[in-house]
Amino acid sequence: MRVIEKIKTFLNIRYDMKEGRNPHIDALKGIAMIVVVWGHSVQVNDPNFSYNPLYLTNYPWAMPMFMMLSGFILFTQLSSTVLDYVKKYALRLILPFFVWALVSYVFFHFYRDVSLPAYLWSVAKAPGTHLWFLWNLFINAVVLFLVLKLVRVKNWVRWENYFVIASMLFSRAFSSDYFGLSDFKVYYPYYAAGYFVFKYWDWLIAHRKVIYAFGLISFPLLVLGYRRNELPTFYPFLLNIFGETGLARLIVSVYKYVIAFAGMALVAFLIDLVRKTRLYVFLCWVGTLTLDIYVCHRYFLNFGVGSGVWQYLSAALFGFFGSLALTLLVLRRFRIPRLLFLGEPFWKKKNLSSTSGE
């Protein structure tokens, strides 16, 4: 047996086409997760990561694409009641958020500076210091679910698109740093965009060449002016043209969304190129484990060796494969860890239905 087959057998790499699953969405999630691990490895090992081009080329689109792809699957949940949906996603996202906060409290020795109750309150008040994606994903999922449920209950389905767009504009009003509301402001539009991707998937596929061309041409140009926590490099030029009218800021806001979607389009094009290869199957498989890798990988990123690119690469490899080993060999093999750390209940629906007499 060849080496690659031995590794594949050890990792149990198997992607089964299940009803309702979209392999291209899974592949996009897979590559986004790999890129996020890479970006975090640069972030952990470079004090000046905000100006590192190896970080800046993925930061504008990777997490926004995760949010959009997460919103893509929400339609499959609309048969649930609001209470059942909230309970399910609280178990899936909020429970692991706080369980991993306990792990970080011990792993990173936070107990030296703050008590456990104070620390848990701090991560709830400022989830950006912890696994913010889980917290933000929960808020986004609940808000969009409520919007879509409302239009169905009121029989306003024909106005559904307008309600979703209105919720996207409404999210822009949140600027508070408390309880992840500032992240909601940034990322909810991407999550809600997943609704449109799902709804108009056939149209997008029919026009994918145009979309790919948009990403291929525009992203390399747009990323040249990108800066993480600062205004883009071309902002002074906009001020010279528009002055203090507010148009310069509006253009910058639009620019951030355009560069994010341009990056997604470029990545979708690259994924399409490898659709018939083993790499594509691997990315699809990784796409089914993205939350597993996300919650684990931070604890392995300090083990990089060498310096510069080699340090980032080695740390990313430790983070990626360490996360896979932890989740496949430990967390997913036992029921209680699977529930606490991954938010996946070990009871099955058929057991619940049998108790109700069905």
Q: Please give the structure tokens belonging to residue 207.
A: 């026009």
* Cα 264 versus chain centre, distance: 12
* Residue found under tokens 């990108």: 226
Other beta carbons within 10 angstroms of residue 263's beta carbon come to: 26
- Region of residue 153 (phi > 0: left; psi between -120 and 50: alpha; otherwise: beta): alpha
DSSP secondary-structure letter at 303? G
**pLDDT per residue as tens digits for the range 325-358:** 999 889 988 999 999 999 988 765 433 333 333 3
* Residue found under tokens 């510069």: 308
Residue 155 pLDDT: 87
* Residue found under tokens 């972030």: 43
Residue 66 C-beta-side C-alpha neighbours within 13 Å: 25
Residues 6+ apart with CB under 8 A from 211: 204, 265, 268
DSSP secondary-structure letter at 94? I
**Residue 41 to residue 18: CA distance in whole angstroms:** 33
pLDDT averaged per 10 residues, the chain (length 358): 54 59 89 94 90 91 93 84 92 94 89 88 88 93 93 88 92 82 92 93 94 96 91 90 84 93 96 91 91 92 85 93 91 91 72 33
**Residue 357 to residue 353: CA distance in whole angstroms:** 7
Q: Please give the structure tokens belonging to residue 105.
A: 């409290």
Residue 107 pLDDT: 87
**284, amino acid identity:** C
Residue 358 pLDDT: 34
**pLDDT per residue as tens digits for the range 196-248:** 999 999 999 999 999 999 999 999 999 999 998 888 999 999 888 887 778 88
Residue 98 pLDDT: 95
**Residue 238 to residue 249: CA distance in whole angstroms:** 9
Reference 190, options 27, 287, 65; nearest CA is: 65
Break the chain into its structural domains and give their ranges: 3-355
Residues 6+ apart with CB under 8 A from 111: 105, 119
Residue 351 pLDDT: 35
